[in-house]
Every structure is written in structure tokens, then in C-alpha cells.
Amino acid sequence: MGLLSDPQCRRALGRLLLRLNTPLCVLSYLSGLAWFLLLPLLAPRTYLSENAMGSTMVGEGSDLGPRALALARDFGEHRRREGGIPVSWLSHTMFQLGLEVHSQPFARTLPFPDEAHERYLVRGTNVFGVLRAPRAASTEALLLLVPCCEGGKNEQAVGLLLALAGYCRGQIYWAKDLIFLVTEHDLLGTQAWLEGYHGVNLTAMQSGPFPGRAGAIQAALALELSSDVLTSVDVAVEGLDGQLPNLDLLNLFQSFCHKNGLLCTLQGKLPPPEGPSGPGYAQSLRTLGLMVLGQAGGAPGGPHGLFLRFRIEALTLRGINSFRQHKFDLGATLEGMFRKLNNLLERLHQSYFLYLLPSLARFVSIGSYAPARGGLLYLVPPILISGGAGAALYLWDPLYPISDPKSPCTPILTPFLSPQARGGLLYLVPPILISGGAGAALYLLPVRGQAVATQHFPVGEAEAVVLALIGIYVAGMALPHSTHRALSGGGQRGWMTLKLLALLALALLLTCLALLNFSLGFLLGVTLVPPAAAVRPGGNRLPLALLLVLTTPGLSLFMAVLLERELLEAPAGLGEAWQRFLGALGQGLLQEHLHGAHLSPLLCLGAYPCWLLLWNVLFWK
């Protein structure tokens, strides 16, 4: 504490930081990137932390294959005949299996047409059956979900769900209610059911009174099958806004896959070979990068992603038929998982909720990846005392002498202590207000102004929203260019103070994101920190302007689309990447309005105004 309380030590520390400012910034940034690249090598093996699940394995006795195929065939025939989910047949079949059957109609009008799924006014019905626990009161429950979309997909999953329900009905060891849910319109049906089950309305979903409930849901599994032949299972963990399920649930699934010889993948990638090797490291890093991009996007990786908001641990299991030689039965794995979860006396809580996965067998905990994030945040103190924001040093210790021309503090503090610099900070009001207003317009106007756009331009509503979003974004880059001319008197002190405020806002944003969504905060830090450190007016502005344009949040999203295709080993050309970028913009807005995702507000009201302030600093006169 004496180092900070003694004026002499404080001045010495300030001079040292000023002298080594640039090397410290570069070293901190590179160390953060290097630590992230080392994460696959630092990842330990996964393990079960919950004693109720890790002691012994249960013995599965189900043989669901033939019955599941027959039920799936009947479901498909009735579905094609009715042109949608056969609610009456499904309810009758569940009732015959001994379940307590309920249905929930729902409707939702989208803010603008969803071209990816070709829908605007959505109507559907969810059907679910409850198997009451014979050995306990209905206080806790487990859930198996099968989402049904248009096109006849996932019929085999419905057959497996019904076959498993019939098998579980004949067992007497259940201490938790079992819910077997079939939803319509994928995520919209799941959202409607969750809101109805918990008695809330978060997204303006229209649905009738909820007919019946079971206990508090402890865990959920969502099942998607591409065919009746299963060669591998891909597991999805990313939830809404980057939330993740408890790691023990994923470890439990992996242990049963290992027991039953079931091949499972993560991000569509096979497990890398054990031991240190170049190909194994590259594959782990590729899987880790895909998870970071998926988590930063904030979109749920499957129907399970909506359960995490309600504190329900959930996974999505996607059965894949890749025409390999070995075929597997998923029914025994599902039975084993439900029987182990049935033994839980409390919610899953002993393992990690914040982690990254380079593979299913290894994990990176928050304690391991925090230094990579901290390496970028360590840039903030050196930047704040750099020549671009000398006000921080003056506010920290106003006793710095400026009489010595050799002092490193003199060129920084002179603009703040000279008689010409005395006065208010009114000249900062226009750039701050206009940058914040541009962010608010970017967030509010595209959806609310789509009707006006379609009247004046020959475009559809969905295209109008995306084009309005791009137009407002580009126009916002031009607005702050000369805002400082509205009031005179800023000078050198003006741009230094404005940069200080921009850096403080950026540091606050990145610090909050470090706890809420590590991946999003890390990617924003990687792209925004270098221009924030380097930007300043005067001299040759072209390199700095090019750097700022290349790191703008919009272009960073476009580069993320290209990077994702490269990591998936399916490179996309510029034309395809542009179409995917436009689709990502529209889906991001829909996710915010339909499910309450936070990515769009964070970028529009947080990252974009900070970037505009830095853009204004660059063109300060």
C-alpha cells in the first residue's frame, strides 16, 4: 500500500508506466492470445463430481428398436395425412401407454418474416405426457423433448420417445416425474411450453391456459434423429446468450456413450487422438474455436438452450447417420441417463457452469481461460495513461510537476494544466450524444421502421429490416466525423478526454462480458483493443482509419462467418459468406424479439457507440 500512498512512489510508478507503455500494451495483448492458443494443451480430463452419478453404472434392460420403428412409421403416416403434427393420434397413443396427456395450443406473430424458415404467423400445438412417479410426490421431474419441424424430419425421434415412455411406464423405481414432450415449430414451440409451464410470458407468446404440470424440472434432454440408422451422436451444449449446462450432465452422457460403445462428437468433430501430437492439437483448437464462435453468437445450439434460462440443465443430442460400418442403439443410453438422474437428491451443482471444451474428454475451466481474458484487460491501465488519455494520470495524481521538460509526464499533462485548457467539457457533449443516439437508432429503427421502408422501396419486410440495419450502421460512421465542430474549444485536451471516456466505457463493457459471456467478451477484446490503444488524431490517419474499419463490430461479424466456415472445413466464398452474414443479422434480431437474446442490445448499445467514439477521436480537428 505504501507504493500507492507515497507521492514519490506514485510519481516513480507513473513515470515507469509512461516509459514502458507501448511494450506493456504489446506484451499484454500477445500474452492473452498466446494463452488462449495454449488452452488445448492445458485442458485436464473430464470427471464426474456428483457422487450420486459417479459411483456405479446402472444396468439397462430396454430393447426399444423394433417398437420405436413401428411407432415412428405410424406417426409419419398420420403426419403426412393431416399436414402437421397429428395431435389426436399422439394424444391417444400416449394415453394408451399410461401417460397423463395434455396439449397446449400457441400462436406467435413474428416482428418480420423469417425467410430462413419461411414463416410469419406461427400457429402450433405442443403435446406432452406425464408419467407420475410411483415412489415419491410430484415435486421433481425429468424431461425428454422431441422438436418437430416442417418437412417430416425427426419422426424417428418421436417413435423412440413413445417407445421409451412405454418402457418406463412398466418400471417402479422412478422417484421423479417423467415428462415426454413433442413440440411444434422447433424453438418457438419449446419457448411457448416453457413459458406456460412456469407461468410467465417473456416474449409476447400467445397460448391458452396450461392444462397440467409435473414437478420442478431437474434436467432435460432434447433428441433429434436424422434417420432410423444411428452411427454417431453429436451433442450441443451452447444455450441462449452463451449459457452452458452443468458439466456433470455432459460427463454423464459421455460415460454412457463410452459404456455402450456409442460414438459421440462435439461441434461435429470426432475426439482427437490422446497424447501430444500436432494433428490432435489442431483438432482440439478447431473444436475450441467453434465453441467460442457459437457461444459468442448467443443463439441456442438446440432446443435445450432455452431451458438454461429457467435453471434447468439440458443437452441436445443429434443422431447422425454417416454410413459408417457400426450402428448403435440410443435407447439404452437414454434409459441409463434417466435412471442415473433419477438418483439425484438435489440439482446438479458440484461441477462447472463456466467452461470451454476442446473435446468431449477434456475441458477448460474458468480458472484456466481467465488469464487469456485478463491479458486483454491488462491493456486498460497502460492505455489509460498513454498519450491518448493523459487525463487519467492527472486525475490519479494531480501533483505531477510539468516544469521539467525531460519528464515523460510533461507532453501528456500540458494540455490539461495550461491556462488555455481551463474551462468546462461542453465540447464533449455532441460526440457522446450522437454516438449514443446512433446506437439507439441502430437498435430501435430497423424493426419499427420496416413498414415505412417497404412503402418507399421495392423490397420485402425482411430485406427492409436488414438493409435498414446496414444503412443506419454506415450512416452512424459518418455522423461523428465533425460533431466536435458544433462547439469550439476542445483542442488537444478535447480528444484526450474523449478517448479517456471511450476507453472507460470499453473497459466496463469488456469486464462485464468477461463474466456473462466469456467468448463474446474475448472476441470483442481481440478486435477492439488494438485500435483503442493506437487511435489518435493528426499525422497519417489512413492506417489508423483502415484499422478501425477492419475492427468495426459489423465487419468482425462478417469475419466470424468466414472463420466458422473455415473451422468447419467447408470454406465459403465471399458471395456465400455475404448471404450468411445477412442471414445472421436477421436471425440475430429475431432471436432478440422471440427469445430475449442479449447479443443485439450489447452490440448496438454497447460496442457500436464505443467504436464511434474512437472513430470521432481519429478525426478530431
**Residues 585, 591: Cα–Cα separation, whole Å:** 10
- Please give the pLDDT value at position 410: 53
**Residues 508, 611: Cα–Cα separation, whole Å:** 14
Residues 429 and 340 in one domain: no
Q: Determine which of 268-272, 351-355, 562-566 has the lowest per-residue pLDDT on average.
A: 268-272
Angstrom CA distances, 320 to 1, 156, 231, 255, 342, stand at: 60, 12, 6, 19, 27
- Please give the pLDDT value at position 396: 47
Residues 560 and 620 in one domain: yes
Residues 8 and 146 in one domain: no
What's the pLDDT band for 480 if we cut at 50, 70, 90? low
Range of 101's domain? Answer: 51-360
Q: Are strands 264-266 and 232-236 parallel, antiparallel or unpaired?
A: parallel
**Residues 219, 318: Cα–Cα separation, whole Å:** 17
Residues 442 and 516 in one domain: yes
- Please give the pLDDT value at position 399: 45
What's the pLDDT band for 261 if we cut at 50, 70, 90? confident
What's the pLDDT band for 66 if we cut at 50, 70, 90? confident
Q: Are strands 216-225 and 313-320 parallel, antiparallel or unpaired?
A: parallel
- Nearest by Cα to 561 from 591, 582, 586: 582
For the chain, helix (H) and strand (E) counts, in that order, are 25, 11
- Please give the pLDDT value at position 602: 92
- Please give the pLDDT value at position 465: 86
- Please give the pLDDT value at position 376: 61
Residues 400 and 480 in one domain: no
- Dihedral sign for Cα 363, 365, 370, 371, please: negative
Residue 400 predicted with pLDDT over 60:
no
CA angle 376, 381, 383 (to 5 degrees): 80
- Please give the pLDDT value at position 424: 55
DSSP 567-603: HTT----HHHHHHHHHHHHHHHHHHHHHH--SHHHHI
- Final residue before a domain boundary, out of 422, 438, 454: 422
**Tens of pLDDT, residues 166-204:** 999 988 889 999 999 999 988 999 999 999 999 898 888
Mean pLDDT of the region 47-56:
72
Residues 405 and 432 in one domain: no
**Residues 195, 210: Cα–Cα separation, whole Å:** 9
What's the pLDDT band for 2 if we cut at 50, 70, 90? low
Higher pLDDT, 14 or 541: 541
Q: Determine which of 175-179, 228-232, 257-261, 608-612 has the lowest per-residue pLDDT on average.
A: 228-232
What does the block give as the cell for 450?
Answer: 420496416
Residue that is written with C-alpha cell 499484454 in the block = 28
- Please give the pLDDT value at position 279: 85
**Residues 453, 456: Cα–Cα separation, whole Å:** 5
**Residues 3, 313: Cα–Cα separation, whole Å:** 47
Residues 39 and 142 in one domain: no
What count of other Cβ atoms lies within 10 Å of the Cβ of residue 436?
A: 16
The Cβ-side half-sphere exposure at 139, using a 13 Å CA radius, reads 8
What's the pLDDT band for 489 if we cut at 50, 70, 90? low
Which residue intervals of 121-175 are DSSP H helices?
A: 155-169
Return mean pLDDT, the chain: 82
What's the pLDDT band for 355 if we cut at 50, 70, 90? very high
Residues 211 and 342 in one domain: yes
Altogether, the residues listed in the chain come to a count of 621
What count of other Cβ atoms lies within 10 Å of the Cβ of residue 219?
A: 28
For 389-403, b/e burial (b = at least 16 CB within 10 A) is bbbbbbeeeeebebe
Any residues with CB less than 8 A from the CB of 106 and at least 6 apart, and which?
123, 124, 125, 126, 188, 189, 192, 193, 196, 205, 206, 207, 208
- Please give the pLDDT value at position 314: 96
Q: Which amino acid would we find at residue 261?
A: G
What count of other Cβ atoms lies within 10 Å of the Cβ of residue 72?
A: 22
DSSP 188-246: HHHHHHHHHHHT--SS--EE-------SEEEEEEEEEESSS--SEEEEE---GGG----
Higher pLDDT, 479 or 587: 587
Higher pLDDT, 112 or 292: 292
Residue that is written with C-alpha cell 450489447 in the block = 602
Environment class of 538 (CB within 10 Å of its CB; exposed 0-12, middle 13-18, buried 19+): exposed
What's the pLDDT band for 388 if we cut at 50, 70, 90? very low
Any residues with CB less than 8 A from the CB of 391 and at least 6 apart, and which?
416, 493, 496, 497, 500
| Three-state secondary-structure class, residue 359 | strand
What's the pLDDT band for 54 if we cut at 50, 70, 90? low
- Please give the pLDDT value at position 385: 45
CATH number at residue 131: 3.40.630.10
Q: Are strands 362-365 and 355-359 parallel, antiparallel or unpaired?
A: antiparallel
Instruction: Give me the percent of the chain exceeding a pLDDT of 90.
Output: 34
Task: Quote the pTM value.
Answer: 0.88
**Residues 375, 133: Cα–Cα separation, whole Å:** 51
- Please give the pLDDT value at position 158: 93
**Tens of pLDDT, residues 93-103:** 999 999 999 99
- Please give the pLDDT value at position 411: 57
- Final residue before a domain boundary, out of 360, 377, 392: 360
Residues 555 and 484 in one domain: yes
Any residues with CB less than 8 A from the CB of 128 and at least 6 apart, and which?
101, 102, 103, 104, 179, 180, 181, 182, 193
Residue 223 predicted with pLDDT over 90:
yes
What's the pLDDT band for 395 if we cut at 50, 70, 90? very low
Residues 323 and 400 in one domain: no
**Residues 45, 272: Cα–Cα separation, whole Å:** 13
CB 48 within 8 A of CB 252: yes
Number of structural domains (the chain) is: 3
**Over 363-406, what HEC string results?**
EEEHHHHHHHHHHHHCCHHHHHCCHHHCHHHHHHCCCCCCCCCC
Residues 138 and 25 in one domain: no
What count of other Cβ atoms lies within 10 Å of the Cβ of residue 69?
A: 15
| CA 507 from centroid of its chain's CA atoms | 20
Residue 62: left (phi > 0), alpha (psi -120 to 50), or beta?
beta
- Please give the pLDDT value at position 413: 54
- Please give the pLDDT value at position 259: 84
**Residues 516, 502: Cα–Cα separation, whole Å:** 21
Environment class of 454 (CB within 10 Å of its CB; exposed 0-12, middle 13-18, buried 19+): middle
- Final residue before a domain boundary, out of 345, 360, 375: 360
**Residues 327, 321: Cα–Cα separation, whole Å:** 9
Greatest extent of the chain over all pairs of C-alpha atoms, in Å: 92
Environment class of 431 (CB within 10 Å of its CB; exposed 0-12, middle 13-18, buried 19+): buried
What does the block give as the cell for 159?
Answer: 417413435
Residues 324 and 461 in one domain: no
What's the pLDDT band for 323 if we cut at 50, 70, 90? low
- Please give the pLDDT value at position 271: 82
Q: Determine which of 76-90, 130-144, 337-351, 448-462 has the lowest per-residue pLDDT on average.
A: 448-462
Residue 55 predicted with pLDDT over 90:
no
